[in-house]
Amino acid sequence: MSFFSQFAGIVIKKPDELPIDRFRLGQVEMLVMRIAFAVLAFVAIKWEVGSLGAADSEKLTGLAHWVNLDWLRNLSPLWLWQTLTVIGLVVYAAGWFPALGLLPALFFSIGIGTLANSQGAINHSTQLVSMILLGQFLVYLVPVHRSVPLSRSSWLRPLEPLQQRAIYVSMVVFAASYVVCGWVKLDASKGEWIQRVPWLALELQKTNYSSYYDTLAPIPETLATVVSLMNEHPNLARIFFGGGLVVELLAFLMLLGRRWALFYGLLIIVLHLSISRLMQLDFWYHMAAALIFLVNVPGIVKTLKK
């Protein structure tokens, strides 16, 4: 099947086939995904609430515009809420009561993350995990499926088609987040983002020298070399960062099928490892999510045989 016919299948699908049908995940694959994502979701929550200050009224983000989240700084006893979250995630991973099981992790991931981002410096390292949590929660909360009659078991122990949908929605959220990220770059720069890439060298210098004067920690040699290359070879910088922009804008290709998901998962991991090495900007949770939902380690052999 050609690339264009595969792509057309997403837009003009057959009456008896949906894009999700191209993945056909097995029970073991989905179990491993749920277990791995449960661990990732717990680790990604910013449990260090004691270090947070009150939300800045001039820098509120998301829910903080409507709900006062300052009380989350005083979660006590913290171990109790962490235990509740772990129990919920274990239940979710086992495939029982998934909407209820995900609720504590979803609440703390979004609530604490929103409070942390309402203090001036916005960090979106855990944003993807929160969005995947929300996507899966909504699938399980409204378990409507064309091939599964709605019943009590739809909430208690969803059947395979609903589990498949939850994983597929996670992939859609993943793809959408990267496409939006790429589009925002173009929109904010009025389409001149690639032309302005060499300015990143100046921003990197300002950021790292500011950090140096605050902590006296030496600037990594690799970073200094990268900044120097960006200054001396602006077109090289445009090629490197422009390639990253293309990866973001074309992230919807991961929805074409298992091989495309595997390819894009590895591509995103390599992209973030490169950024981590060259710019000291780490997106470990994004890479972990790509490994779980896109690379799909237990399903690699099945993927390559398709």
Q: How far is CA 246 from the centre of its chain?
A: 18
pLDDT at 183: 92
Q: Who has greater pLDDT, 86 or 195?
A: 86
Q: How confident is the model at residue 241 (pLDDT cuts 50, 70, 90)?
A: confident
Greater pLDDT, 56 or 95:
95
In sequence order, the 6+-apart residues with CB closer than 8 A to the CB of 6 are 256, 257, 260
Highest mean pLDDT among 20-34, 79-93, 131-145 belongs to: 79-93
Check if the beta carbon of residue 299 is closer than 8 Å to that of residue 29: yes
Closest Cα partner for 32 from 142, 163, 144? Answer: 163
* Residue range 221-234, pLDDT digits in tens: 666 677 777 777 77
User: Is residue 12 scored above 80 in pLDDT?
Assistant: no
Contacts of 195 (CB under 8 A, 6+ apart): 238
pLDDT in tens, 52-64: 888 888 888 888 8
CA distance 291 to 191: 31
Most confident of 145-159, 205-219, 274-288: 274-288
Higher pLDDT, 253 or 75: 253
Q: Are 252 and 11 in contact, with CB atoms under 8 Å apart?
A: no
By the 10 Å C-beta count (0-12 exposed, 13-18 middle, 19+ buried), 86 is classed as: middle
Domain residue ranges of the chain, discontinuous segments joined by +: 23-305
What mean pLDDT do residues 26-44 have? 95
* CB contact burial 238-269 (16+ within 10 A = b; e otherwise): bebbeebbebbbebbbbbbbbebbbbbbebbb
At 154-172, the pLDDT tens digits run 788 888 888 999 999 999 9
Say which residue, 202 or 45, is predicted with more confidence.
45
Q: What pLDDT shows up at residue 10?
A: 45
- Checking if the pLDDT of 48 tops 80, the result is yes
pLDDT at position 54, please? 83
Lowest average pLDDT, out of 2-11, 175-184, 198-207, 230-239, goes to: 2-11
What's the pTM value of the predicted model, to 2 decimals?
0.85
Whether residue 200 contacts residue 193, with contact meaning beta carbons closer than 8 Å, is answered with no
Task: Summarize the confidence of residues 174-199 as an average pLDDT.
Answer: 84
Residue 200 has pLDDT above 90, yes or no: no
The predicted pLDDT at position 197 comes to: 73
Give residue-wise pLDDT tens across range 284-297: 999 999 999 999 99
Task: Give the mean pLDDT of the chain.
Answer: 83
